[in-house]
Amino acid sequence: MVSSNVAILDKCDSHPSSSRDPKAYSEAISNYTLFQHDGVTLGYLLAPVVAALRSARCEAWNVGETVVEFKSCNDTFEKRTAVMKATVDQWRQEKRFEVLEGRNLGRLGLMAGWRNELYSVYGLNGEILFAIERCATPLFGVVTYGVHMTGYVPPTQFQPLRIWTPKRSIKKPTFPGMLDNTVVAS
């Protein structure tokens, strides 16, 4: 059976809305621990991440039953970034989460996972609160942003619309050799 685009989107975007269905939303997030800074929710943590924070040697976290946050002494971008780095580095050393490991992609000699690429996490007013290794962002359930651009040549009376569809470098750590957008930045 063929689905309409709206039906497909409804399946993909199936997380309940807090404004449209507060009860379903509350039930959906009841299995998560909030990751907050100054009372603002930055992300949602799964139980294994909360357990890892509880057992971490880094004493820079307040880990409660429903909320995890940086301790108040971590009051600058630099301090919060250092805490995040120490925590994620420790987990990587312990091989605690597969997403943090560099995985060999076989004969190509490429690595997936760890990228040595910092990703900014923003506060409510657009300020950068801290930076985190890009591959660790899913562990903290933070919103990630990216900008995608597709290049095209408009149609003329002699040519149809033409869309630029580049191929990713074979040396890329993720999806090497696959088709891609013209320009992507995150």
Q: What is the CATH code for 22-145?
A: 3.30.750.160
All residue ranges of the chain with pLDDT < 50 are 107-110
Structure tokens at 78: 């630099």
The per-residue pLDDT for range 80-112, each reduced to its tens digit, is: 999 999 999 999 999 898 888 766 555 444 455
What does the DSSP 8-state code read for residue 13? Answer: S
**Of the candidates 117, 90, 96, 94, which has an alpha carbon nearest to the alpha carbon of residue 174?**
117
Cα–Cα dist 65/51, whole Å: 11
How many angstroms separate the Cα of 5 from the Cα of each of 10, 16, 146, 149, 175? 9, 19, 23, 21, 25
The domain segmentation of the chain, as residue ranges, is: 22-145, 146-186
